[in-house]
Amino acid sequence: MDPEATSELRKFVAPEFVYGVGALNQVGRYAKNFGAKKALVVTDPGLLGASWVKKALGSLDAEGISGEVFHDVTPNPKDREVAAGVRSYRDNGCDIIIAVGGGSSIDCAKGIGVAYANGMDVLEFEGVDEVPMPGPPLICIPTTAGSSADVSQFAIISDTARQLKIAIVSKAIVPDVALIDPQTTTTMPAELTAATGIDALVHAVEAYVSNASSPITDLNALAAIPLLVENLVPAIENPRDMRYRNNMMMGSLLAGLAFSNASLGLVHAMAHSLGGLLDLPHGACNALLLDHVVGFNYPAAPERYDRIALAMGLDLSGLGPEKRRDALLKRIVGLREDVGITTTIGALGVAAKDIPQLAANAFNDPCLATNPREASVQEIEGLYEEAL
């Protein structure tokens, strides 16, 4: 660890969180502590068939708190969905928001809260520290081991008119409480486990090489990597085995604490652009871009990428810089293929004609500011072309 780095001023933001099997069952008690009478429960249609929303509503009911379910949330949550959620919150007389789901539901819930509290359109909060007032109490129950939106000061919302994703970065959208129950991830299908697991790994990698990293975020990022790498394939193969689900959820949590405070990089900037323009799945985009960006970034932070390689279980003894980089890239690609992500962004629908706009949007994404290597629009275009 660099001795000088320990003396630099750094801020670390995290919500109160409860971790472990059964954490979901605490939602009623926490809502009662906020004096809540009626909750807006934000989720997505895919979770309505699982038991987690019903359990949350049951916990609320046991404390005399009624719940109104809002499930009009799609992947890459959109500005119009946030607006619909604000109307539902207001019209039903709600006084607390409960998010049950993955990053889409949680980001939408964050947007609903601050848009309601400030009487503003959610897109007006784009950027860093642009939220005047925090929203009503927000309790998050994540059901994926990936996004870590439940512990972050980020919300990503799709601007449907401009066809791009905006980032809202503010302490005002940090949830009040996260109830992190690894059992909720046992109902994830294999493809979602894979995509969200790689997303969590990208969080750890990008946080560790971020130019805003700190000793505290480094500890979280490096601890997350082996948990995610060693348990992702077993979690897919044994979806009900709580050993693997717990390790994946813990890895996701640690990666989330890291990136929320160190920010991200070019992988996320490019993935946000893909999601905004073409409405593509975020986790899959990250997975298909990671090795290309790591190859591009490696010369700017070789020692940090070597530590990532070691955390992924590689033996770099006797290897020169180029071979160390190649070993890391091979490990990343191998993991992606092992979890069943073997396609390309071209196969997902990206065409060569889309690349100039994709690159321009990625260049303007705030995540690029903390990437360890500066990237021009032309260089970003080249990385998209590689990933086709």
**Statement: residue 7 has pLDDT above 80:** no
Average pLDDT over residues 97-108: 97
In this predicted structure, what is the pLDDT of residue 3? Answer: 47
- CA separation for the pair 30, 17 (Å, rounded): 11
**Statement: residue 1 has pLDDT above 60:** no
Outline which parts of the chain fall under CATH 3.40.50.1970: 16-185
- Residues 293-312: pLDDT tens digits? 999 999 999 999 999 999 99
Question: pTM of the prediction?
Answer: 0.96
Strand partners, 179: 18
**Statement: residue 212 has pLDDT above 50:** yes
- Residues 227-276: pLDDT tens digits? 999 999 999 999 999 999 999 999 999 999 999 999 999 999 999 999 99
- CA separation for the pair 156, 107 (Å, rounded): 6
Indicate the fold that domain 16-185 takes in CATH.
Answer: Rossmann fold (3.40.50)
Q: What angle do CA 307, 255, 319 make, to 5 degrees?
A: 15
Pairwise pLDDT comparison (2 vs 105), residue with the higher score = 105
Task: Using DSSP, state whether 206 is helix, strand or coil.
Answer: helix
Q: Would you tell me how many other CB atoms lie within 10 Å of the CB of residue 186?
A: 16
- Residues 153-204: pLDDT tens digits? 999 999 999 999 999 999 999 999 999 999 999 999 999 999 999 999 999 9
Please state which CATH number belongs to domain 189-387: 1.20.1090.10
In this predicted structure, what is the pLDDT of residue 151? Answer: 97
Per the CB < 8 A criterion, the answer to whether 105 and 42 are in contact is yes
- Residues 28-69: pLDDT tens digits? 999 999 999 999 999 999 898 889 999 999 999 999 999 999
* Bridge pairing between strands 177-180 and 138-142: parallel
- CA separation for the pair 100, 43 (Å, rounded): 5
In this predicted structure, what is the pLDDT of residue 2? Answer: 54
